[in-house]
Amino acid sequence: MKTTRWLVAAVSLLLVASGAFAEDVAGLPLHVKRLDPTTVRVWVGDYISSTATVAFATSRGIVVVDTTGNPRIDAELRKVIARELGRSDFKVLINTHEHGDHTGGNSVYSDCEIVGHELVGKGMTPNSRNREQVAAWHASRTAELEKNLANLPADSPEGKRLREEVLVNRLGLEALKANPKPVPPTRTFADRMTLSMGDTTFELSYIGGMHTASDIAIFVPEHGILMTGDTMADVWLTDTPGCLASFIAREGVRHDFPLLLENWGLLLQKKDQIKMLITGHWNGELTLKGFEDRVNYVRSLWEGVNKAVAEGKSLADIQTAYRLDTRFPELARSPGCNLRNNYSTILEMWQVVTKQESAAARLYALIDEGAGEDAIHQVVADRNSTPSRYFFLEDQINGYGYRFLQQDKVPQAIAMFKANVELFPGSWNVFDSLGEALLKAGDVAGATAMYEKSLALNPESPSGKEALAKIRGTATK
Ligand SMILES: [Zn+2]
């Protein structure tokens, strides 16, 4: 008897180990994790940072949180959820935010009420030019990955990871080519919303601004589960964190810091009820401490920027006083946090508080649309007015100049760098960049003059020395 049992166990183990029981979805390994008796989390892939869908069986039907970017995968996952929960009365789909890898499979749930923040639909609106670019990117990336894959042993971890990436890229391309009409939420809210599903309550609150404009948190008190979408994570399970990689207020993403902080505060008041925090992708986890640290960090920044502006401090003062590594050393090496993200978040807060616009962004837009010198000069001259409408950052203006260079818009890059030279005549770096653009335009004499000015300000500049030596070398040949 004992022997037989042992034998059965050994054979089962062997079968599992050989993958005989493993299930695939569109060629990708399926993962099913039961969070509690009536809640299941499903995702595909062992390596890629794919979206994890969560489904709750409530007394009023099944509530699903998020889809993947691909309706083919979501149609299969829907079947898996029905099998796991032993029912198929799907009633509600909730989107944690607008990103395609969370809303791309909404069509699979078009028989359900789809709930999300009021800005999800706007964020999903397809931009046909963008779609073509993304399709072209997917096609070239797939070809590149396939080439790399051919040179790797198929059973090596790197080979398996690449194989998944190729598959995902192919699926992405297939979905893009099908060009499905986006299926936006059918029921939206701005600040907070409570969804009662009989024995289960879903407390939804806006927590956007540090990822997209439309992120929400979903708290389910009966299960002690708090879902935070892609807004944050403090533990990586893989070295390719994907969407969860940055905790940052980005340029161009709408912010409402007071509402964000209010809603985070309300969630933290319930922290004793939170038993489990769930992120939007399977490969990043969030601890309650990680959540609290991030909320406290944004609160300190927001209060600090408001106070400093009231005291008449400059943007540079604030950036120095609130540097991540010196002011928040505990977060400096934590996932999603870094100096660049911290810098950008302070910059966004500064703009909200002072209502000042970025001169760099304005100049970029003006030059790009072919505005005349007068218009450009008006912005530059604003530097001397108080209060000024714009804030001027040398690095930001230079960055936009290089963006023009990358787009092969050399005359526009020259105009941008010229404005920067006028604004920051004591900076060796802006002369160096103007020299680079002039050289690209074939203006050797102009470039030489700029490199010479740059070297006069910083005689040790290696790029200036190198450029001049090159120009002179070519000239003497
Ligand atoms: Zn996202």
Phi, psi for residue 25 in degrees, rounded to 5:
-125, 115
* pLDDT exceeds 90 at position 223: yes
Tell which of 354, 373, 403 closes a domain: 354
pLDDT, the chain, mean:
91
Do 141 and 279 share a domain, yes or no? Answer: no
pLDDT tier at 198 (50, 70, 90 boundaries)? Answer: very high
Question: Percent of the chain scored above 70 by pLDDT?
Answer: 94
Is 2 within the bounds of a domain? no
User: Measured between alpha carbons, how far is 117 from 207 in angstroms, rounded to an integer?
Assistant: 10
Q: Give residue 475's pLDDT.
A: 60
CA of 330 to the centre of ligand 1 (A): 25
Token code pair at residue 317: 């003062």
Q: Helix 444-457 crosses helix 462-476 at what angle (to 10 degrees)?
A: 140
Whole-number Å distance, alpha carbon 152 to ligand 1 midpoint, is 31
Cα 243 to ligand 1 centroid, rounded to whole Å: 5
At 410 the pLDDT is 96
Q: Are residues 61 and 187 in the same domain?
A: yes
- Separation of CA 416 and ligand 1 centre (Å): 33
- pLDDT surpassing 50 at residue 213: yes
Task: Judge if 434 and 404 occupy the same domain.
Answer: yes
**Structural domains of the chain, count:** 4
13 in any annotated domain:
no
pLDDT digit string, tens, across residues 318-336: 999 999 999 999 899 899 9
Task: Please give the residue that has the higher pLDDT: either 55 or 162.
Answer: 55
pLDDT tens profile 273-332: 999 999 999 999 999 999 999 999 999 999 999 999 999 998 989 999 999 999 999 899
The CATH number linked to 394 is 1.25.40.10
Q: What is the pLDDT of residues 1-52, one digit of tens each?
A: 444 444 444 444 444 444 445 799 989 999 999 999 999 999 999 998 999 9
In-domain check, residue 11: no
Give the whole-angstrom CA distance, residue 81 versus residue 171. Answer: 21
CA 411 – CA 417 distance, rounded (Å): 10
Q: How far is the CA of 96 from the centre of ligand 1 (A)?
A: 9
Q: Name the token pair of 238.
A: 């893989």
Give the orientation angle of helix 71-85 with respect to helix 157-178, to 10 degrees.
110
Confidence at residue 474, expressed as pLDDT on a 0 to 100 scale = 72
Is the domain of 162 the same as that of 223? no
Bridge partners of 249?
A: none
97 Cα: distance to centroid of ligand 1 (angstroms): 7
pLDDT of residue 459: 94
My answer on whether 90 and 136 are in the same domain is no
Looking at 304, 331, 354, the residue that finishes a domain is 354
Nearest residue to 301 via CA among 359, 361, 248, 232: 248
Same-domain pairing of 118 and 201: yes
Q: Which domain holds residue 308?
A: 288-354
- 133-146, pLDDT tens digit by residue? 878 888 888 888 88
Collapsed DSSP state (helix, strand, coil) of residue 30: strand
My answer on whether 170 and 265 are in the same domain is no
166, 145 contact by CB (below 8 A) = yes
- For residue 387, is the peptide bond before it cis, meaning its omega torsion is within 30 degrees of 0? yes
- Tell me, in angstroms, the distance from the centre of ligand 1 to residue 101's CA: 7
- My answer on whether 207 and 257 are in the same domain is yes
Cα 86 from Cα 84, distance rounded (Å):
6
- Residue 381 maps to a domain: yes
Q: For the segment 361-395, what is each residue's pLDDT rounded down to a tens digit?
A: 999 999 999 998 999 999 999 988 888 899 999 99
Given this model, what pLDDT does residue 476 score? 52
145 plus 241 within the same structural domain: no
pLDDT for the residue numbered 138:
82
AA identity, residue 194: T
pLDDT tens-place string over residues 224-236? 999 999 999 999 9
In this predicted structure, what is the pLDDT of residue 353?
Answer: 95
Residue 83 lies in a domain: yes
Q: Distance from the CA of 149 to the center of ligand 1, in angstroms?
A: 27
Could you tell me which of 201, 210, 217 has the C-alpha nearest to residue 116? 217
Q: What share of the chain is helix, strand, coil (3-state, %, to 5)?
A: 55, 15, 30
Give residue 69's pLDDT: 85
Tokens of 383: 């530097």
169 with 117, same domain? Answer: no
Tell me the CA–centroid distance for residue 282 and ligand 1, in Å.
Answer: 13
Instruction: Tell me what pLDDT residue 120 has.
Output: 97
- Please give the span between the terminal C-alpha atoms of the chain, in angstroms, as a whole number: 92
Whether 16 maps to a domain, the answer reads no
Is 1 a domain residue? no
Dihedral (CA of 65, 58, 190, 268) sign: negative
How far apart are the CA of 211 and the centre of ligand 1, in A? 7
Residue type, 374: D
Give phi and psi for 418, each to the nearest 5.
-65, -40
Instruction: Mark which of 243, 258, 284 sits at the end of a domain.
Output: 284
**Which whole-number Å values give the CA distances from 203 to 143, 331, 420, in the listed order?**
44, 28, 49
CA atoms of 350 and 321, how far apart (whole Å): 14
CA angle 292, 295, 297 (to 5 degrees): 105
Out of 30-44, 154-168, 189-203, least confident range = 154-168
**Together in a domain, 30 and 77:** yes
Q: Are residues 318 and 435 in the same domain?
A: no
Q: Is residue 447 part of a domain?
A: yes
Helix axes 428-440, 462-476, angle to 10 degrees: 30
pLDDT at 126: 67
Band (pLDDT 50/70/90 cuts) for residue 238 is confident
